[in-house]
Amino acid sequence: MPFRVHRPVLAGLLLAGSALAQAPDPKLLADLGRIKAVDAHSRLLVTGVEPPAAAPSRREPATLPLRLRGEGPEWTRAWKALYRINLADADTDENIAVLQEAREKLRREKGAAFAGSMLDVAGVELALVEGEPPPGPAGSGPVRFRFLPRADLFLRPFSPDSADGLKPFFIAARTYTLPKSLDEFLKRIVTPGMERWLGAGAVGIDVGISRYRPINFDDTNAETARAAYSRLVVAGELGASPGDLKAFQDYTFRYIAREAGRLNLVVHIHTGMSREAGRDVGNGNPLLLEPMLNDPNTQRTRFVLVHGGFPFDKEAAPILLRPNVWADTALQDQVRSPTELAETLRWWFELAPEKILFGTDAWSDPSAAQIRWPELTLLGAETTRQALALALAKMVSEGLVTRARALEMAEAVLRDNALELHGLGEKKE
C-alpha cells in the first residue's frame, strides 16, 4: 500500500510558518513540501503517544528552550493539523487535559495506523527509531520504521539501570550474571547481541553516553581495560573509580565501533546538546571524537553525529569531510528557528552536502505534557524544510548552485542520504 502524505496540509503549515520569519522562496518551499522525508533519528513510540510513565513532577518552563514550551502559533497549527483541535497553548491544566484527550481519541480511532498517520501529516515516509526491533524475523515489523538499538547498556553494564535490558543477552549466553572477564563479556554478550540486532533488522545502533561522560574514547590498552573490568564487576558502577569506568568504556566503545563496521551497522552517536536540562553540553563536543575517528580500526565504521553537534555545529562541519561521518538536524530543528538552522545548513552544504541528514530525535517527555513525538516530528520537518529553502535559495541567488541542483541537494538531505547510508533501497528518482 503506498504511503500517503497530506501534501496540502503540509504545504499550508510550511507557508504559514515561514511568513512569521525570514521568508524563503514560496515555490522552492512548496517543492520541498512534496518530498517524502526519512527521519534519520527518532524516538517515536510505534504503538502510541504517551510515555510509559509520567514523571513525578512537571518540568519548569525555564528549563526548556522557548520553542518546546507549547506556546505560539506554530504549536496551534501543529495541534490543528495532527489532532483537529483549536488550542492556543498548553500552559494550563485545562488545556493540557483537552490536548491529551484529543491525542488519545485519535490514537483509539487510528489503532495500529496511528503512528503512520502522524508521519503522513509531517510528510515523513520512513523513520529510523531508537530502540530494539520488535520480535519476529527481519522485515516483519511495521514497514514505516527501522530500528537503532541502544548500545549504552553494553557501556554501562554495571549500572542498575541496565539490569533489565541485559537479561535477554544473559539468557542467550546461558548465564545469569556478567561474565567474570572482559574478553568473555565482549565475545559472549556484546558481539552475539549486535549480531542478533542485525538479524532482527536493525540498520544501526544508538550511543547516548554523552549524557553521562565526555565522548573522548581513548585508545586504552587491553590489559588496563581487563583489570578495570575485573574491579568493576565487584564494585559496580556506583562504587567504581572514574578511571576504571572510563578505561572500560573507552576500550568497549572502540570494540563496539569495530564490530559495527564489520556488521554494516551505522553508529548514531549523540553529540552536543542533550534533551535533559543540567547535562554538561561539552561532553558532546564532536571534536572529542577525532582521536577515535583516526583509529585505523574504525575506518570501516560509519558514524552519524546525532544533533549535528549543536551548539558545536560549526566545529562538526570539517569532520563531515571524513569519508565515514555524517550529521543530522535532530533536536536543532525543534529548538532553533528556521533562520538559525539555515545558517548551519549553509555552512555544512559548502563543505559536505552529501553528509547531511534530516532527523528529529522526536520523543515524548514524561515531565512535559506538551512534548510528544507527533508534534515534534511535524515541527522538526517543518523547520528543516523552511531552513533548507532559506539556505538553498541564497546559494542559488549567489550563483553557487542552480535551482535544479538546489532541489537535488534538498531531496538528498530529506531522504536520499539517509536511505543510501543505511542501505534502505534506491533513491527516489
Q: pLDDT digit string (tens) for 394-429?
A: 999 999 999 999 999 999 999 999 999 999 975 554
Per-residue burial over 276-310, b = 16 or more CB atoms within 10 Å of its CB, e = otherwise: eeeeeeebbbbebbeebbeeeebeebbbbbbbbbb
Q: Indicate whether 159 belongs to any domain.
A: no
Exposure letters 150-188 (e unless 16+ CB within 10 A, then b): bbbbbbbbbbeebeebbeebbeebeeeebbeebeebbeb
Choose the most confident range, by mean pLDDT, from 12-16, 131-135, 146-150. Answer: 146-150
- When mean pLDDT is compared across 134-138, 175-179, 372-376, 425-429, the lowest value belongs to 425-429
pLDDT for residue 235: 87
104 part of a folded domain: yes
Query: Nearest Cα to 48, choosing from 312, 268, 356, 363?
Result: 363
In which band, very low, low, confident or very high, does the pLDDT at 152 lie, cut at 50, 70 and 90? very high
Q: Taking residues 205-225, what's their average pLDDT?
A: 96
pLDDT of residue 270: 97
Q: Which three cell numbers stand for residue 416?
A: 536520499
Rounded CA Rg of the chain: 21
Dihedrals phi, psi of 205, to nearest 5 degrees: -130, 155
Which pLDDT band, with edges at 50, 70 and 90, does 36 fall under?
Answer: very high
CB of 257 closer than 8 Å to CB of 292? yes
Count of the separate structural domains present in the chain: 1
Q: Which pLDDT value is given to residue 358?
A: 98
As a dihedral over the C-alpha atoms of residue 398, residue 399, residue 404, residue 407, rounded to 10 degrees, the angle is -30
pLDDT value at position 239?
81
Total-model pTM: 0.91
Tens digits of per-residue pLDDT, 258-280?
A: 999 999 999 999 999 987 766 78
Domain range for residue 401? 7-149+265-421
How confident is residue 225, by pLDDT bands cut at 50, 70 and 90? very high
314: helix, strand or coil: helix
In-domain check, residue 204: no
Inside any domain, residue 243: no
**pLDDT surpassing 70 at residue 344:** yes
For cell 503549515, name the residue: 13
Across 396-407, b (16+ Cβ under 10 Å) vs e yields: beeeebeeeebb
Instruction: Please tell me the predicted confidence (pLDDT) of residue 19.
Output: 38
How confident is the model over 352-385, as pLDDT tens digits?
999 999 999 999 999 888 899 999 999 999 999 9
> What is the band of 6 on the pLDDT scale with cuts at 50, 70, 90?
low
C-alpha atoms less than 13 angstroms from C-alpha of 112 in its C-beta half-sphere: 4
In the predicted structure, residue 11 carries a pLDDT above the cut 60 = no
Q: What is the pLDDT of residue 133?
A: 87
Q: Which residue has the higher pLDDT, 273 or 11?
A: 273
Asked whether residue 13 carries a pLDDT value surpassing 70, the answer given is no
Q: How far apart are CA 106 and CA 206, in angstroms?
A: 30
The residues with which 128 forms a beta bridge, in sequence order, are: 146
- Give the chain's mean pLDDT: 91
Q: What is the distance, to the nearest Å, from the Cα of residue 332 to the centroid of all Cα atoms in its chain?
A: 11
Q: 190 lies in a domain?
A: no
Which helix (H) or strand (E) element contains residue 166? helix 163-172
Q: Is the pLDDT of residue 185 over 80?
A: yes
Closest alpha carbon to 328 in 339, 341, 45, 338: 341
What's the CA gap between 82 and 309, in Å, rounded? Answer: 30
Nearest in space to 154 (alpha carbons), one of 52, 297, 281, 252: 252
pLDDT at position 414 is: 98
Q: Which residues contact 61 (CB under 8 A, 6 or more apart)?
A: 69, 91
Our CA angle for 130, 133, 135, nearest 5°, is 150
pLDDT of the residue at 56: 63
Average of per-residue pLDDT across 231-241? 87
Q: In which band, very low, low, confident or very high, does the pLDDT at 4 lie, cut at 50, 70 and 90?
A: very low
Answer whether residue 100 shows pLDDT above 90.
yes
Which long-range contacts does 191-197 make (Cβ < 8 Å, 24+ apart)? 191/259, 193/154, 193/169, 194/151, 194/256, 194/259, 194/260, 194/263, 194/265, 195/263, 196/172, 197/132, 197/133, 197/149, 197/265
pLDDT (0 to 100) of residue 427: 52
Q: CATH number for the domain including 111?
A: 3.20.20
Percent of the chain surpassing pLDDT 90: 79
Residue 2 has pLDDT above 70, yes or no: no
